[in-house]
Structure 1
Amino acid sequence: MKATKKITVTADWIQRYAKSIDAPLQYLHGKLIAPATMPIVFWQQFNHAHFQDTVPVLHGSQQFIYQLPIQEGMVLDCELALSQTEHKQGKQGPMTFNTYTLNCFEQGTEIVQLNTVLIHVGAAI
């Protein structure tokens, strides 16, 4: 599974996200910088299967690897891919650990990579 989206980061979007997590606004060279965790909401731009799951989904972990900060006005080319699947047996039954990787670039330059582990409980996926 691999999907791509072009995501435009606006000052308003950064301000609303920062307010929602009670983060201070920060600037670099006069441009508003997105809070470090903002790429997690980029998932909403994708029509991703985990939003329609009928089995419980737990958030396992996330890791943000930045090369450059996300700034207002950036137009990011983002790619979301399933990078690893691992099946385990838990106390309550089968569990599937899916690792998703979101890579975002601006004009070919890598900006951020986000690795997220989602745990699907109760059914082997």
Structure 2
Amino acid sequence: MINSSWEGAETDSKNFSITSEMINRWIKCVQDKHPIYTDIQTSLKYGYNDVVAPPTFPMSFWHSFFLPWMKREDTVIHQKQTFIYYSPLTAGMNIKAWITLNEINTIQLSSGLFQRVRQTLSGAENKELVFEAVIITLIPLKHKIPETSRKPKNIENIKTNADFDTSFSLECLQHYAECSGDIQPIHLDERIARQKGFSRQIVHGMLIMGLAARLFHAKMNQGYIMRSFDMQFMSPLLRNENIFFLSKNQSPNSSMLKVQGFNERGTLIFTGTIQ
């Protein structure tokens, strides 16, 4: 649990020189290999100065920071994540980044009592803001977190309309933990996950979000630049459980996509928008 006196606190800033090697490591981490992330000629063709960082790339900075308000023993559940880009993040940029603890409150949900924490990772170059990554997490205070009881959707319809599907093995979770720094035991240790109310390890929210960015590839191929990406996590996805990714255009002439993910039982895992 975080002491409320920390609200409004900021970390010391850190400097990051973005390289194509850093971007390539993150691409392998989130399994997204669009050419603008890997091939400079493609990036130049689309008007960028160098290869572009995938939308969730700023989270590669997160675990470089010491967060004095966080306790190592706290279990942290991702509730919502938003990325806002004021300009594209590319190799060759020198980013000054910092984390702000924006808000702490206590909320009662059907699954128990939680502390809700909103933090923002900001990145700037030459004092101009490049991105903000807003992360909202839940820390359970009194109860274990049960697996969802949401009414499932028709799985056959989901399979028919899915853009793609996948599952995440323990090896995938271990690889993501290693390259992202998110080594929470609920992602890696089945015994700990069971103690917290899950039947086995749960998949990192940022791994799911990183893969969901593929849904915007068709828009990117049309020349659209991703300006924002938000995702609300509705239910946990378990290790080795299939997830089906779906997207829908908000309107024919809009860059906005509504995105959703469902597990193999038809349970809604996430909902969000990309534009």
| TM bucket normalised to smaller | 0.7 to 0.9
1:106 equivalent in structure 2: 125
Q: Secondary structure of the equivalent of 1:114? A: strand
Flag structure 1 segments of 5+ consecutive residues without an equivalent: none
Distance 1:67 1:40 in 2: 16
Q: Secondary structure of the equivalent of 1:62? A: strand
Residue from 74, 81, 88 that aligns with 1:55: 74
Give yes or no for contact 1:92–1:122 (8 Å, CA) kept in 2. no
1:13 equivalent in structure 2: 22
Distance 2:56 2:24 in 1: 13
Residue from 97, 106, 114 that aligns with 1:78: 97
Flag structure 2 segments of 5+ consecutive residues without an equivalent: 1-8, 37-42, 143-275
Write out aligned runs for 1:26-65 (5 A). 26=36, 27-28=43-44, 29-49=48-68, 52-65=71-84
- How far apart are 1:59 and its partner, in Å? 0.6
Q: Which moved more, 1:69-78 or 1:49-58?
A: 49-58
Cα distance change on mapping 1:49 and 1:57 into 2, 3 Å: farther
- How far apart are 1:96 and its partner, in Å? 0.5
Cα distance change on mapping 1:30 and 1:68 into 2, 3 Å: closer
Deviations 1:40-83 (A, max 9, x none): 12101101257743132101111011011111111111120001
- How far apart are 1:99 and its partner, in Å? 0.3
Distance 1:86 1:48 in 2: 18
Sequence identity percentage: 23
Q: CA RMSD in A?
A: 1.9
Q: Which moved more, 1:56-65 or 1:27-36?
A: 27-36
1:120 equivalent in structure 2: 139
Structure number with higher relative contact order (C-alpha < 8 Å, ≥ 6 residues apart):
1
Cα distance change on mapping 1:50 and 1:43 into 2, 3 Å: farther
Q: Does 1:96 align with 2:115?
A: yes
Q: So what's the TM-score if we normalise by structure 2?
A: 0.42
Give yes or no for contact 2:113–2:141 (8 Å, CA) kept in 1. yes
Which structure has the larger Rg over C-alpha atoms? 2
Output the amino acid matched with 1:14.
I
- How far apart are 1:94 and its partner, in Å? 3.0
Q: So what's the TM-score if we normalise by structure 1?
A: 0.87
Q: Secondary structure of the equivalent of 1:31? A: coil
Output the amino acid matched with 1:2.
E
Q: Identify, as 1 or 2, the structure richer in strand.
A: 1
Aligned length in residues = 123
Q: Identify, as 1 or 2, the structure richer in helix.
A: 2
Distance 1:34 1:64 in 2: 13
Q: Secondary structure of the equivalent of 1:15? A: helix
Q: Secondary structure of the equivalent of 2:23? A: helix
Distance 1:25 1:47 in 2: 34
